[in-house]
Chains A and B, each alone.
Chain A
Amino acid sequence: MRTMLRNTAQSKGRLLVVDDDLVHQTIIGKIGARLGYDAVIASTLEMAAELLQQEAFDIMVLDLSLGEHDGIELLRLAAQRKLYAMPIVIVSGCDERIMNSTRRVAEGLNLFLAACLTKPLNLDSLRDALCLPARGRIESNRAAPPPEVSRERIVAALANNEFSVEFQPKIDLVTDKAVGAEALVRWWTPDFGWLSPAIFIPVVEQFDLMPDLTNQVLSIAIASGRRLIERHPGFVLAVNISGSSMNDLTLPERIESILRAEGVAPESLIVEVTESVAMSDVDRATDILVRLRLKGVGAAIDDFGTGFSSLVALAHLPFSELKIDKSFVKGCETNEDMVKIVEASAALGKAFNMKVVAEGIDSPATLARVRQAGCDVGQGYLFAPSLRPERIDRWMTQRNAEGANHASMFEPRLQVANRFLGRGM
């Protein structure tokens, strides 16, 4: 272990440099010292692990290759020690794919990854990364545990019609016009306020109440969406179908009955089913989806690429739309691996004569990239978050009247959208 004391009067804190390369550890330590850090250098995983166990550091620079060990082991240790607020700068001479995967490991461990830098180091980038402040978001997010929702509370909510829907618009990437929307379930209660679907959906599933909720959401969505369908020619409403609802062979008839009651054409509805749900009982899913398609209702494979059976689902089930999961789309313009997946998924969708939808478009750069990849439709905060029924009609009228170049007009409204950290049903 070596130390390098800061070269400045004021301390910026303690920097841990973990690198088995003598030259790089010295350069990083010296730059840290010039920025005001007291740098401690560890050349081995064991040394670094001991330091992290015994001492506190304000930032860590970690080389991924540590002789016989690797930096991933230390990331796990940092997570075990709950060092979520400590910025970590990864440095490595490995290729970009390894760096990208490392980034995902760190994110999965909930660590604060300040930067991933390739060797030879860009000294400006290293300096910028060392100047990042520590974060406090993990602690603040964890301060309020989610409320416990009982079965009785959900039954009461269903009886009192407490659930509602919002609509997130879907945009045709050629004409730039809104051509549909995905209905997302919302629940507001006087006792809990707005509850994220990420909290209540698993509880609804756990208590076998999903078919009831799906029924209610289908009814509300189709009733609320009828006005949009009437006022905007070609508008298609998308509704998510849960796993337990896909076990119910009467689902096509129930959907048909709701459509008939609301006077909505089957072609104006598309059901979204995740590949994992579809593949859990493929014969049943095929039965239901074929009958829905025969009735004129569309079927989308949702979150495409995230399960283990994406290609099987595509080959066996009669989907008319493929939705590329947002985890591949978000920021794909800066990640060659993700671009390849988006392009391959779009090509697959086209090969099966499906409409291809890119979810999670949050920036003009991502929009440009998914357009280039051949996606037909886009969805994401760049266009709009989910909107209440009374707002989406006005939003669509305005958007479709104003023509092209809308993307830049609609600022991402992340604050509104962040109310819901998870997705709807």
Chain B
Amino acid sequence: MTKPPLFDQATYLELSAELGSEGTVEVLRLFLADTSSKMIAFASGPYSGPLIKHEGHSIKSSAATFGFSELSALARELELRAETMSPEVLSKFVEALRQAFGRVLNLAQAQLLGSGTEIA
């Protein structure tokens, strides 16, 4: 299966056309801050399947709204399979999600928010 792209710019532009560029940046900052908190929470404790499923559900939809396709696809996998994965596999998936979010964060800071912009 082909790996989804990190970023689908057309989706982001659609959102931008609807909310205006300022409005979109405002919501994007919320997303990045909110997802950062979730990643920190993942890192801090033993993985809980139901919690990761719930967060995966949320990240899946929000990431797709901005066009962050790779992150959305990984979150979807977690939502579908988190409760049945072994702790080792779950740990690998969460790490892959964290790395994908790191790439999103870099891209957002470099291209969408402007350099030096704080996330939240």
Contacts and interface: CB of A to CB of B under 8 A. Distances in A.
Interface of A: 21-24, 26-27, 30-31, 34, 65, 67, 93, 119-121, 123, 127
A123 B62 contact: no
Interface centre among B15, B19, B61 (most CB of A within 10 A): B61
Interface string B81-119: 000000000000000000000000000000000000000
Contacts of A21: 58, 61-62
B65 A30 contact: no
Contacts of A27: 15, 19, 27, 65
A23 B57 contact: no
Interface residues of B, number: 19
Interface centre among B15, B26, B62 (most CB of A within 10 A): B62
Contacts, number: 49
Interface of B: 14-15, 18-19, 23, 26-27, 30-31, 34, 54, 57-58, 60-62, 64-65, 72
B19 A23 contact: no
Contact of A119 (B18, B34, B54, B61): B61
A24 B54 CA distance: 15
Contacts of A26: 26-27, 30
Contact residues of B: prevailing secondary structure: helix
A65 B57 CA distance: 10
Contacts of B65: 23-24, 27, 119-121
Given A23-B65, A93-B60, A121-B65, A31 B34 contact: no
Contact residues of A: prevailing secondary structure: helix
A100 B117 CA distance: 43
Contacts of B54: 67
Given A67-B54, A123-B18, 4 more contacts: A27-B65, A30-B23, A31-B18, A120-B65
Given A24-B62, A121-B65, A93 B57 contact: yes
Given A123-B14, A123-B18, A30 B27 contact: yes
A22 B30 contact: yes
Contacts of B60: 93, 119
19 contacts: A21-B61, A22-B30, A23-B65, A26-B26, A26-B30, A27-B15, A27-B19, A27-B27, A30-B19, A30-B27, A31-B18, A67-B54, A93-B60, A93-B61, A119-B65, A120-B61, A120-B72, A121-B65, A123-B14
